Amino acid sequence: MTLKETLEQLKAMSDEKTFAYNSKNGVGDNQYGVKLGDLRKVAKKIKSNHELALELWGTQNYDAQMLSMLIINPKKLSTDALDAIVRSVKYTRVADWLNSYVVKIHPENEKLRQNWMNDKNPMAARAGWNLTTQRIVKNPEMVNIPNLLNRIENEMSNAAPEAMWTMNFSLAEIGINHPEYRQQAIDIGEKLGVYRDYPTSKGCTSPFAPIWIKEMVNRKG
């Protein structure tokens, strides 16, 4: 499937409600408004196509970039190429798909994580903290939790919104997964108040770290 054919297919899948939802959440007019389920169907049809994925990314179109994350081959990206892609992201949902489907499985993600954790670029920082959250949960020996708590306490309130979100995930996962630091994580969350008043739908857990931590710990029993 060529780039032109793929874009035509995406355009044909345009959904008015999805377009409106994306627009409400910060995506401009450079989109078709394709449902995520439909994007996955297209990706399943294409399978892996690294070259097409790079072409789709280059269009700057929201739906095209989301699709590209599903068909790209992360192992074919150099560290410099992936770093450039991360920095070029304009939308947080694209960033999160990129982190989940590409950054997470890139062979050099630890090297990139260490660099991004000290980066001023909001999307690079978001990716760095996202990877750090994974380490907190699965490989805590790779991170210094006391130092992370100190950074969060001193930096999260003034962090860019893009980085603040994943930084808050790190704070919550420390409290959820490491009982010895749980109260400290809760106290930091209370002190900073980040996402305290975040609108939360019925049945969903608040992203406010103290509430989130307590809820998840209770679920674990």
Structural domain spans, the chain:
1-107, 113-221
Over residues 198-217, the mean pLDDT reads 94
Task: Measure the CA dihedral 100/103/104/108, to 10°.
Answer: 180
Per-residue confidence (pLDDT) for residue 195, from 0 to 100: 97
Over residues 192-204, the mean pLDDT reads 92
pLDDT at 220 over 90: no
Name the band, by pLDDT with cuts 50, 70 and 90, for residue 20. very high
pLDDT at 221 over 90: no
pLDDT at 28 over 90: no
Residue 71 tokens read as 């068909």
pTM (2 decimals)?
0.93
pLDDT at 96 over 90: yes
pLDDT at 103 over 90: yes
Per-residue confidence (pLDDT) for residue 55, from 0 to 100: 98
User: What are the pLDDT digits (tens) for 32-73?
Assistant: 999 999 999 999 999 999 999 999 999 999 999 999 999 999
